[in-house]
Amino acid sequence: MGQKVLIIGSGAREHVVAHTLLKGGSVDEVVCAPGNPGMERDGIRTTQLSPSNHAALIDFVEDNDIDWVFVGPEVPLIEGIVDDFEAAGIKAFGPNKAAAQIEGSKDYAKQLMERHGIPTAKYETFDDLERASMYVSEHGTPIVIKADGLAAGKGVTVAMDDDQAQEALKQIFLDHRFGAAGAKVVIEEYLEGQEFSLMSFVRGNEFWPMPISQDHKRAYDGDKGPNTGGMGAYSPVPQISDASVNAAIETIVRPTVEAMVDEGVAFQGILYAGLIDTVEGPKVIEFNARFGDPETEVVLPRLTSDLGAALSAILDGEAPTFAWNGDSTTIGVVLASDGYPDQVVKGAHVPDIDLDDDSHVFYAGVSGDADGKGELVASSGRVLLVETSGRDIADAQKKVYAILDGIDASGLFFRHDIGSKALEA
């Protein structure tokens, strides 16, 4: 009898985790809370429980013989959902509240890196507009301005001139664009280089790195427009050398997980390191306490071993096994609602998409149609991601855009250059 797993979350990240668990063999049932109706097309059950209702989720696990829980999004992790599951005797994959601070507060993460000599951009933290504004004027641009707390990937401004920097500070402190997440601001030096994402499965001092990927944050082609939660990704990233990846593992991931153990906040779950490959070596842009989205949708399809068996082993203190396909490239492109990320226009019809065996659709912001015809409607900013694999970047890119160019995307948009940085490098 296979295992039964509950996944907390509702987006494309949770969809690909569920899909990968079911593909592995050791898990034969996955329930997503709350999930979305697109997931159900892949045989994933959903239950309309809120990720913030910890008591109801605990009852659900106990009433439905769930073996263990996977927590997808950052908010329930930072709210302490893993602590509550563990207090109820339930195994949950994800960091506890104390360890999740590495994402919940950029200032905490920066101080941790400073204490342990982990390479990152120079920074200062401010809690008032006047001092922050003076610092920017003194240091000049380009400069990076980050809301301290959670802002769904949208709280970062890379300001190329003083006007843009001062406007970003005004939006955080005066307009309260990010609410409590903007009570403090972290201002960093601007770093030059290619960005990449390095995610690892972690248990205390032990960790198992995944293949790297590269996300595309800006809304429009050519890295134009506002920052988003991510418009697409690809893996591997050929322009980042093996030497840089190994340096990142040894100078960033290893000392970070060891530092957290030493400081009494041992990490268990997915540690996401958002990195930049500078002339001085890789440096940290940010840490997340969970799988990145959309990076997960291009990394997990490269897993050839059983994800459920590996996560179960980590939870049980045993040695997990991970095997990855090193012969192909995977690309994922996000289909978003018009106006995303600032003025989202919901309600677009979600087209059915013809796919081959190398491709998959992972659904995010979709709901069922009101007249019950089984069609899907766009209900959020990012609607779905189309993922496909090919021999290399050029092949995978050609395949994914052949799929997307063949659909009616009325009311929706996507970037046409996901993966092009690898071709230009």
Beta-carbon contacts of 241 under 8 Å, excluding residues fewer than 6 positions away, are none
Determine what percent of the chain is predicted with pLDDT higher than 70: 96
The domain locations on the chain are 3-97, 122-189, 192-294, 329-424
Residue-level pLDDT at 153: 55
Residue-level pLDDT at 139: 83
Query: Does 402 score more than 70 pLDDT?
Result: yes
CATH number for the region 122-189 comes to 3.30.1490.20
Cα–Cα distances (Å) from 353 to 142, 223, 356, in that order, read: 41, 26, 10
CATH topology assigned to domain 329-424 = Glycinamide Ribonucleotide Synthetase; Chain A, domain 4 (3.90.600)
Q: Would you give the DSSP letter of residue 11?
A: S
Q: In the structure, what pLDDT confidence band is assigned to residue 92 with cuts at 50, 70 and 90?
A: very high
Mean pLDDT of the chain: 93
* Mean pLDDT (whole number) for 3-30: 97
Rounded Cα distance, 363 and 366, in Å: 7
Residue-level pLDDT at 179: 66
* Mean pLDDT (whole number) for 136-159: 78
Rounded Cα distance, 8 and 130, in Å: 41
Instruction: List residues bridging with 56 in a β-sheet.
Output: none
Q: In the structure, what pLDDT confidence band is assigned to residue 340 with cuts at 50, 70 and 90?
A: very high
Query: Does 255 score more than 90 pLDDT?
Result: yes
Q: In the structure, what pLDDT confidence band is assigned to residue 115 with cuts at 50, 70 and 90?
A: very high
CA angle 175, 179, 181 (to 5 degrees): 120
Q: In the structure, what pLDDT confidence band is assigned to residue 7 with cuts at 50, 70 and 90?
A: very high
CATH number for the region 3-97 comes to 3.40.50.20
* Mean pLDDT (whole number) for 59-68: 98
CATH number for the region 192-294 comes to 3.30.470.20
Task: For CA atoms 415, 419, 422, 424, give the dihedral sign.
Answer: negative
Q: In the structure, what pLDDT confidence band is assigned to residue 127 with cuts at 50, 70 and 90?
A: confident
